[in-house]
Structure 1
Amino acid sequence: MSKEDRRIAKSQEAIKKAVIELMSEKNFDDITIQDISDRANVSRGTIYLHYVDKFDLLDKLIEEHINKLQEICKSVSEMNYKEANLPWFEYLEENYLFFSTMLASKKGAPSFRSQFHGFLMEEFKGEVNIKAGINYGLSEDIILQFIVTSHVGIVEWWIKNEMPYPPRFMAEQVGILLERNL
């Protein structure tokens, strides 16, 4: 990575961190590009070089985290649910400010929650077996909604309650519940 590339990456990280911090302090609608610029210690022009506006910045930030969660899913696809959940919960813990802000903010929450839900629907789609076992004869759509809505709800509960249990404990508990229901 060249010196220029490192400088660009550093600016983008400062901008993303600034918008998350600001969203944890005030309503997204009240945040200006100037606020982000001041917090990130970059010029407004630098922000506009990378993002159309603050909505584009928020969308790209959400997309980046969803993409990272997808990468984690791909890397753990051969593991059982308990093992596969651990990198997830560790990632959520490492990015607590982002996830807590997205789940608490009026502007971030609906968009993030919707994308998070859609992403999980795709991930769990291949996991449901209604042709045999405990889910024989049940509706795949209903099972998927049950599993995904539960998963999103557990993540929201864990984050909003300031992670009352460590990632390993959460991974084990959620893994057991997934194994029971899938």
Structure 2
Amino acid sequence: MLEEDIRITKSREAIVQAMDTLLEQKPFRKITVNDICRTAIVGRTTFYAHFEDKYKLISFILQQEQQRLEDIILNSPPEEVILNVLLDILENKKLYYNLFVAEVSDELQRLLQDTFNSFFTNILSVCKSEGVQLACETLPPLVAFYTTGVVGMIMWWTETDFSMPAEEVTSCLSSLLGYLWE
């Protein structure tokens, strides 16, 4: 039984890795299940045993990416969160470009919004509990404002093919969000 579980796990990992590899080369819409199977060295039956279609596979990969970004947020000092997220995106820029900019930027926006929403909820709750004068007493609209601003800046940066160094984008955002780190 354990041996079978290892084979299943390895097949799933190979399929996910194949999609990652293919996303480094071309946009998601041009990737076929046959491409994935050929790259992963698995049959179509194996692919369909793990994922309903390439959209379920990409959904699984996006959930993993969101978890990675949330781990960065949880393990970084607040003032370094944005830089660390930007550096992670830059490190995987070909993947981000082919997955998000070439066609489905709404998915990137959703992934980043979900990730930063919890980050700003936590930061602003702490600020409020410590008596910091916030621009708005009600947190949800303030969280939405900051999240949308940061995500908008990251989307712009990605869509302009990372036209500014990550440190410069971080500096700009830090100036806008400065009081949150104090």
Q: 1:55 to 1:134 in 2, by over 3 A?
A: same
5+ residue gaps, structure 1: none
Q: Percent identity?
A: 17
Equivalent residue of 2:48, what SS? helix
Name whichever of 118-127 and 167-176 sits farther off: 167-176
* 2:27 partner amino acid: M
- Normalising by structure 1, report the TM-score: 0.76
Instruction: Note if contact 2:136-2:142 (Cα within 8 Å) is conserved in structure 1.
Output: no
Q: Aligned pair 1:179/2:178, yes or no?
A: yes
Instruction: Note if contact 1:130-1:139 (Cα within 8 Å) is conserved in structure 2.
Output: no
- Where relative contact order (Cα < 8 A, 6+ residues apart) is larger, the structure is 1
Pairs within 5 Å for 1:7-156:
8=11, 9-19=13-23, 21-23=25-27, 28=29, 31-38=31-38, 42-76=42-76, 79-81=77-79, 83-106=80-103, 108-128=104-124, 129-130=127-128, 132-135=131-134, 137-156=136-155
Instruction: Note if contact 1:51-1:57 (Cα within 8 Å) is conserved in structure 2.
Output: yes
Instruction: Note if contact 2:23-2:95 (Cα within 8 Å) is conserved in structure 1.
Output: no
Q: How much has 1:102 moved relative to structure 2?
A: 3.6
Hey, what's the Cα distance between the residues in 2 that align with 1:136 and 1:22?
Answer: 44
Q: Deviations over 1:144-169 (max 9, x none)?
A: 11100011111111111111222233
Hey, what's the Cα distance between the residues in 2 that align with 1:5 and 1:49?
Answer: 9
- Normalising by structure 2, report the TM-score: 0.76
Instruction: State how many pairs are aligned.
Output: 173
